[in-house]
């Protein structure tokens, strides 16, 4: 998603004017020129995001095992 430094926020593509293409659009709030993500960048999640998801899944799986062990230990 396009990030505006001036407003410190992300804009959705729908919120932007889009302009005449060329990979840029004007910020609807402050008018700064924002770089739009290319089609290639839009497809799929970046590798560090997938890594984070994998880490969270592994952590939650480990916590689930700990919960099971704790439950079994109570009976
Ligand atoms: Zn802005």
Residues 22 and 33 in one domain: yes
Q: How far is the CA of 38 from the centre of ligand 1 (A)?
A: 20
Q: How far is the CA of 36 from the centre of ligand 1 (A)?
A: 13
What are the tens digits of pLDDT across the range 37-59? 665 555 677 889 999 999 999 99
Q: Which residues surround ligand 1, an ion (CB under 5 A)?
A: 4, 6-7, 27, 29-30, 32
Domain range enclosing 27: 1-43
Residues 58 and 73 in one domain: yes
Strands 33-35 and 24-26: antiparallel
Rounded Cα distance between 58 and 64, Å, is: 10
Rounded Cα distance between 4 and 23, Å, is: 14
Q: How far is the CA of 8 from the centre of ligand 1 (A)?
A: 7
DSSP letter at 36 equals P
Q: What is the mean pLDDT of residues 11-33?
A: 76
pLDDT greater at residue 44 or residue 25: 25
What is the pLDDT of the chain when averaged over all its residues? 83
Residues 5 and 34 in one domain: yes
What are the tens digits of pLDDT across the range 61-71? 999 999 999 99
Dihedral sign from CA coordinates of 3, 7, 8, 14:
negative
Q: How far is the CA of 56 from the centre of ligand 1 (A)?
A: 33
Residues 39 and 57 in one domain: no
How many independent structural domains does the chain possess? 2
């Amino acid at each position: 998603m396009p990030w505006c430094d001036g407003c410190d926020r992300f804009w959705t593509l729908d919120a932007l004017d889009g302009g005449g293409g060329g990979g840029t659009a004007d910020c609807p709030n402050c008018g700064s020129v924002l770089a739009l993500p290319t089609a290639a960048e839009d497809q799929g999640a970046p590798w560090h995001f997938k890594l984070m998801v994998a880490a969270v899944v592994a952590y939650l799986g480990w916590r689930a095992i700990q919960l099971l062990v704790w439950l079994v230990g109570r009976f």
